[in-house]
Amino acid sequence: MNDSPDRTPQGRGRARANSGSGNGSDGGQWGNSGGWGGSGGGVNGRGDGSSNGSGGWGGQQWSTPPPSAPQPGVVPLRPLGVGEILDGAVSTTRLYWRTVLGVSAAVALGTQVAGTTVTGLWFRDVAGLNKLADPSTADLHEVLDAVGKSLGSLTVASLVGLVGTIIASAMLTVVVSRAVLGRPASVGDAWRDARPRLLALTGLFLLVPLLMAAAFAVGLAPGLVVAAGSDAGLSGDPSGGGAGLLGLGGLAGMAAAAWLWVRYSLAAPALMLEKQGVISAMRRSAKLVRGASWRIFGIQVLAAFIVFMIGSMAQIPTSFIDGIVTGESTMDHLTWTSLIINGVGAAIGSALALPITAGVTALLYMDQRIRRESLDIELARAAGM
């Protein structure tokens, strides 16, 4: 965790800090750079920091306590704690629920309808897939047919989910950036600001997972090569070298993928709010994350756990209703009724989870810029404070 820079109370001689990335990044969503407060400092505007108050016990002078940080919106304009970041994401949803839930519900409903339709068309009758569990009863034609259905359905569902995630992240990041300043944003406002950045955000959301997948594949490669070169293969290698190397390589690949995820976790808000390109946003994220990787990793994992719990709790009532309506669940044959009921639960969970994910990421980005670049000065000026 990075220590915040030495901070002088607002309006008391604190010089403007450099908040750009060298390519015009300071002219983004949160206003232009600029100083805040005149020259001089200390109490009562005196440069020596002394007070005009009368002496206290033993002739000691009582200094005026520093003013609290301004808070025009959902979070105070100072380095934030973990609880304040989470509370800011929740407060944004609570104060601007029409816009936030309108965006997240529309995206969640659209993606879930597509996912349920794909599942119903490709996987509703899974008896054919269950045959593949017994190699003695599965021929080549059945294997190819099952693999084709699986790849086709997963591709469609993944593309629809990606589009929905991109739109929700873009629009909700705009809403959070305005909520920090205490300014509401309608769905139309969020869409107008987010629409020009959707293509670049799509590139970012494709590139980062590809890098993570490549890192994981590189970790697995040595074990796969050793296993393929041994006569016994993975399961029958007397020394277990191939399987052991594969396991170690998998762990190393997962660690590398997690490192890349944290390194570029702030690229989306940088791209949206600073109007950066894909590569520039990734470099910007790497710069902001440097030295605070473990803190950001912990907060992102905590947010992911909260999102998982929200989704699980949303699925409990629908699973109960599904059991009452359709009877005992079976994987031999899925009904449309069962798919729709469970899809409703998944859509509700996603609609509640999307604002948390986008809000935490945007506020982490703001927090890192406050700690490194004194963004709070710009935000206070933009808020008219």
Least confident of 95-99, 178-182, 233-237, 370-374: 233-237
Cα separation, 56 vs 28, in Å, equals 48
Letter string b/e over residues 260-297, b meaning 16 or more CB atoms within 10 A of that residue's CB: bbbbbbbbbbbbbbbbbebebbbbbbbebbeebbebbb
Is residue 335 a contact partner of residue 326, using CB atoms and an 8 Å limit?
yes
Kindly report which listed range (219-233, 245-259, 266-280) carries the lowest average pLDDT score. Answer: 219-233
Mean pLDDT of the chain: 78
pLDDT in the model for residue 335? 79
Q: Is the pLDDT reported for residue 186 higher than 50?
A: yes
Check residue 244 and give its pLDDT: 79
Q: What is the pLDDT of residue 14?
A: 40
Crossing angle, helix 82-95 and helix 336-373, to 10 degrees?
120
Rounded to whole angstroms, the Cα distance separating 178 from 193 reads: 11
Distance CA 331, CA 267 (A): 41
Residue 55 has pLDDT above 50, yes or no: no
Is 253 exposed, middle or buried (CB count within 10 Å of its CB: 0-12, 13-18, 19+)? buried
Confidence check: pLDDT of 2 > 70: no
Q: Cα separation of 221 and 223, whole Å? A: 6
Instruction: State the pLDDT confidence band at 57, using cuts at 50, 70 and 90.
Output: very low
Give me the DSSP letters along 325-358: HH-S--SS---HHHHHHHHHHHHHHHHHHHHHHH
pLDDT confidence of residue 323: 81
Strand spans (E) along the chain: none
pLDDT for the residue numbered 240? 52
- Is 362 within 8 Å of 177 (Cβ atoms)? yes
pLDDT at 254 over 50: yes
Instruction: Identify which has the larger pLDDT, 38 or 111.
Output: 111
Q: What is the pLDDT of residues 25-39, one digit of tens each?
A: 444 455 443 333 333
Q: How large is the average pLDDT for residues 46-53?
A: 41
What would the pLDDT profile of 198-213 be if each residue is shown by its tens digit?
Answer: 999 999 999 999 999 9
| Per-residue pLDDT tens over the stretch 133-158 | 555 555 556 556 666 666 666 777 77
What pLDDT is stored for residue 150 in this prediction? Answer: 64
Q: pTM for the full model?
A: 0.75
Radius of gyration of the CA atoms of the chain, in A: 26
The mean pLDDT value for 232-261 works out to: 75
CA 64 – CA 50 distance, rounded (Å): 10
Q: Looking at residue 131, what is its pLDDT? A: 53
What are the structural domain ranges in the chain? 82-198+266-382
Q: In the prediction, which pLDDT does 315 show?
A: 87
